[in-house]
């Protein structure tokens, strides 16, 4: 059975005390209200992570993730954070290749490959983000774009490593825009991703991988999206900044 996951991506929001308060609400609501085996993940800014791990002690419903990591093991990279630092602080997941990092920080598929490698080496689970821009969709190249994003960043992995990944399909045109992909559009791409993985590795492996949808996911549309055969949950931006909305999205699995 594939893991059902709802991951919140806070991006560069919430100062330290507001972040702690939000996270406490998330833990309490998750413990009170989530009755299935869904995994809730909170990807906060780096600064908050260690304190959130402490707050979360003994709780398995919620896990912590980072929004990025550097690709090198260690060294003179002023301002950067390593995968080892994250893991040693109790962080379990790391988002890699988010479209905002691709757009504003020029992250390429090749760089993502290196980040995925260092994350896996340090026992972090990468949440690898892929997805096309509006222009690419309108030009009809979205399947090729997704295929390349997968191939260049992940197909060097052994099957044993690949199966540790979480994939997030996030059409760039749906991120933070209030425009959600329809459940049929999202399912079409998720099925395509799974087929590609099956072709590259095996059907059994493809069936084990959790593929999340991201892009204006909210409590109103989550249930229909998560009910699709190949959608195993969501990567949630804006709605993860409100505990009520975030947990209601996680409840779409209940």
Catalytic residues: 98, 170
Report, in angstroms and rounded to the nearest whole number, the Rg of the chain calculated over CA atoms.
17
Site for ligand PGA in 4-33 (CB under 6 A): 9
Instruction: Compare residues 30 and 41 and give the one whose CB is closer to ligand PGA.
Output: 41
Looking only at residues 190 through 229 of this chain, which bind ligand PGA when binding is defined by CB under 6 A? 214-217
Binding of residue 38 to ligand PGA (CB under 6 A): no
Q: Is 238 in the site for ligand PGA (CB under 6 A)?
A: yes
Residues 6+ apart with CB under 8 A from 242: none
Q: Is 175 or 201 the residue whose CB approaches ligand PGA more closely?
A: 175
CB 103, min distance to ligand PGA, A: 11
Cβ proximity to ligand PGA, 97 vs 214, nearer residue: 214
CA 142 from centroid of its chain's CA atoms: 20
Contact predicate 225/217, CB 8 Å: yes
Q: Binding of ligand PGA at residue 43 (CB under 6 A)?
A: no
Q: Determine the interface stretch with ligand PGA among 23-31, 84-92, 169-177, 189-197 (rule: CB under 6 A).
A: 169-177
Whether residue 121 contacts residue 69, with contact meaning beta carbons closer than 8 Å, is answered with: no
Among 107, 170, 245, 248, binds ligand PGA (CB under 6 A): 170
How many CB atoms are located within 10 Å of the residue 204 CB?
A: 10
171 counts as binding ligand PGA under rule CB under 6 A: no
Question: Does residue 237 interact with ligand PGA by CB under 6 A?
Answer: yes
Instruction: Yes or no: say if 198 and 159 are a contact pair by the CB < 8 Å rule.
Output: no
Which one of residues 69, 119, 167, 235 is an interface residue with ligand PGA (CB under 6 A)?
235
> Is the Cβ–Cβ distance between 129 and 97 less than 8 Å?
yes
Site for ligand PGA contains 172 (CB under 6 A)? no
Range list of H helices, the chain? 16-33, 46-55, 83-88, 99-104, 109-121, 134-138, 142-154, 159-162, 183-200, 203-208, 222-226, 243-250
Cβ closer to ligand PGA: 59 or 103? 103
Between 9 and 187, CB nearer to ligand PGA: 9
Give the integer Cα–Cα distance in Å for 44 and 20. 10
Selected range binding ligand PGA among 13-21, 115-123, 205-213, 236-244, rule: CB under 6 A: 236-244
Query: Which residue from 71, 60, 46 is spatially nearest to 122, judged by alpha carbons?
Result: 71
Does 179 engage in binding with ligand PGA (CB under 6 A)?
Answer: no
The contact set with ligand PGA (CB under 6 A) reads: 9, 170, 175-176, 214-217, 235-239
């Amino acid at each position: 059975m594939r893991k059902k996951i709802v991951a919140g991506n806070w991006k560069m929001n919430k100062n330290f005390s507001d972040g702690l308060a939000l996270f406490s609400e998330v833990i309490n609501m998750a413990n009170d209200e989530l009755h299935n085996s869904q995994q809730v993940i909170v990807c906060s800014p780096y600064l908050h992570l260690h304190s959130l791990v402490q707050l979360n002690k003994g709780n398995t419903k919620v896990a912590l993730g980072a929004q990025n990591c550097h690709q090198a093991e260690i060294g003179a990279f002023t301002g950067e954070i390593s995968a080892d630092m994250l893991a040693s602080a109790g962080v379990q997941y790391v988002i890699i290749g988010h479209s905002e990092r691709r757009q504003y920080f020029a992250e390429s598929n090749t760089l993502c490959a290196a980040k995925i490698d260092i994350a896996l080496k340090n026992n972090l689970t990468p949440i690898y983000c892929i997805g096309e821009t509006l222009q690419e969709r309108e030009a009809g190249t979205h399947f090729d774009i997704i295929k390349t994003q997968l191939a260049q960043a992940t197909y060097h992995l052994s099957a044993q490593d690949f199966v540790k990944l979480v994939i997030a399909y996030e059409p760039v045109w749906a991120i933070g825009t209030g425009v959600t992909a329809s459940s049929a559009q999202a399912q079409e791409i998720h099925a395509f991703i799974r087929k590609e993985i099956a072709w590259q590795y095996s059907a059994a492996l493809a069936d084990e991988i959790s593929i999340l949808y991201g892009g204006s996911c909210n409590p109103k549309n989550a249930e229909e999206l998560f009910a699709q055969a190949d959608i195993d949950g969501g990567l949630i931006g804006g709605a993860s900044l409100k505990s009520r909305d975030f947990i209601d999205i996680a409840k779409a699995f209940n």
